[in-house]
Amino acid sequence: MVELLQYSFGGITVGFIYALVGLGFTVIYNSSKIINFSQGEFVMIGGMAAVFLSYAKFPFVLAFPLAVMLASLLGYMLFKLVSMSQNSSVTSLIILTLGYSIFVRGASQVGFDKQMHTLPAFISDTPISIFGATITPQAILVIVVSLCIVFALYYMFNKTKLGKAMLATADNKDAAKLVGISVKKILIMNFMISSAIAAIGGIVLTPITSTNYEIGVILGLKGFCAAIIGGIGNPFGAVFGGVLLGILESFVAGYLSSEYKDAVAFIVLLLILFFFPGGLFGAKKSSRV
């Protein structure tokens, strides 16, 4: 019983990280129908920038927002590149975002370095024991921060004018333009929000996992799985998908085989794609000829 609880704690912590990455995918996809393969790199930039700013003697209170701003800037840059490209076929855009991820990783190698780095736990190191299973304060922080972001997004999309404008743009760009919404500004904001979310996730994650210029690759892939499992386009779906994925991975490692833990994310993804094509919470699609 204790084991079950412990596996769950581990799984939920990791799951919320996947959720944040997946959420970032969803925000961009909703507004521009683009799958951003470089999403994971924003997670990496958040952590690495925060670390290097702290090495440069910036107090954490400053380093945190600065790192997030750097990631947002890179998100803006991506938007500019995407809007410059005339070919909007799925394949082209995938390659473009992949090229961008290679570029950002390469820049990180040079601008930061190739070593591993960590941040001290924000609150404390001492694990908290709940019914015999333990969880670290940092992990709880990850969960809390992620939930805050989710609710903030929910509030924005549903209760603010800006958020409604974003939803309108995602639904039908031309109609949105007709009612006076500046589609370009909305898209820019979406890209920047998406990268900011990823960066925040990256920073709170660093004390748990350490960071280095390569962590974005696998996180991006798994976050993407989370988004699709939940139903790409649905923010709550992304969160649910992420947590589900984290827990499944944990259970497989604990009860079955730790060797194939990595395969879990992709096997579940395939099952969802085959049996629930729109994701667990996604909408049905129809297509025009």
Partner 1 sequence: MTKTSKVLLGLLAMGFSLTAYAKENIKIGALVAATGPASFLGDPELKTLEMYIEKINAAGGVMGKNIELIAYDTGANPKKATTFVKRLISQDKVVAILGGSASGETMAILPFIKKAKIPLVSMAGSIKIVKPAKKFVFKTPATDRMACEKIFEYLKKKSKTNVALISGNGGFGKSMRAQCKEVAPAFGVKIVADETYGPKDTDMTPQLTKIKSMTNVDAVVNPGFGQGPAIVTKNFKQLGMKQTLVQSHGVASKKFIELTGNASEGVIVASPPVVVAALLKDSNPIKQIALDYINDYETKYNAPVSTFGGYAYDALNLVVNAMKEANSTDPKAIRDAIESTTSYVGLNGIYKMSKNDHLGLDIDSSIKMLVIKNKDWQLAK
Partner 2 sequence: MGNKGLFLDRGIVTTIIILSVIPFLLQNSFHYEIAIMCMLNAVICIGLNMLVGYTGQISLGHGAFAGLGAYVAVILSTTYEFDPVLSILVACIVLALIAFIVSKPILKLEGHYLAMGTLAVGIIISIVLNNEDGFTGGPDGMGVSEFNILGYVFENDIQWYVLSAIFLVFSIWALQNVINSPFGRILRCIRDSETAAKAIGADVPYYKTYVFVISVVIATAAGSLYSYYTGFISPEESGFMRSIELVVMIVFGGLGRVYGAVFGAIIITALPQFLTFLHDYEHMVFGAIIIFVMIFMPKGIVSIFDVLKVSKDKK
Q: Please give the residue ranges that form the binding site for partner 1 (CB under 8 A).
A: 2-3, 6-7, 9-11, 13-14, 17, 109, 113-118, 120-121, 125, 127, 129, 134-136, 205, 208-210, 212, 214-215, 217-218, 250-251, 253-254, 258-259, 261-262
- The answer to whether 178 contacts partner 2 (rule: CB under 8 A) is no
One residue of 90, 116, 123, 147 binding partner 2 per CB under 8 A: 90
Q: Which two tokens stand for residue 76?
A: 């803006």
Long-range pairs for 106-112 at CB < 8 Å and ≥24 separation?
A: 108/41, 108/44, 108/45, 108/48, 108/213, 109/213, 112/48, 112/49, 112/51, 112/52, 112/213
One residue of 69, 95, 156, 208 binding partner 2 per CB under 8 A: 95
At 279, is the secondary structure helix, strand, or coil? Answer: coil
- Nearer to partner 2 by Cβ, of 142 and 227: the residue is 227
One residue of 56, 129, 179, 259 binding partner 2 per CB under 8 A: 259
Q: Which two tokens stand for residue 279?
A: 């994701």
One residue of 68, 141, 192, 221 binding partner 2 per CB under 8 A: 221
As measured in angstroms, the least distance from the Cβ of 136 to partner 2 is 28
Strands (E), the chain: 128-130, 133-135
- Nearer to partner 1 by Cβ, of 49 and 135: the residue is 135
As measured in angstroms, the least distance from the Cβ of 88 to partner 2 is 9
Q: Which two tokens stand for residue 174?
A: 């031309």
Tell me the C-alpha distance between 163 and 288, whole Å: 28
- Pick from partner 1, partner 2, none: which does 98 bind, CB < 5 to 8 A by kind? partner 2
At 91, is the secondary structure helix, strand, or coil? Answer: helix
Tell me the C-alpha distance between 151 and 136, whole Å: 23
Smallest Cα–Cα separation from 140: which of 131, 130, 150, 153?
A: 130
Q: Which residues bind partner 2 (CB under 8 A)?
A: 35, 81, 84-87, 90-92, 94-96, 98-107, 109-110, 217, 221, 224-225, 228, 232, 259-260, 262-263, 266-267, 269-270, 273-274, 277, 287, 289
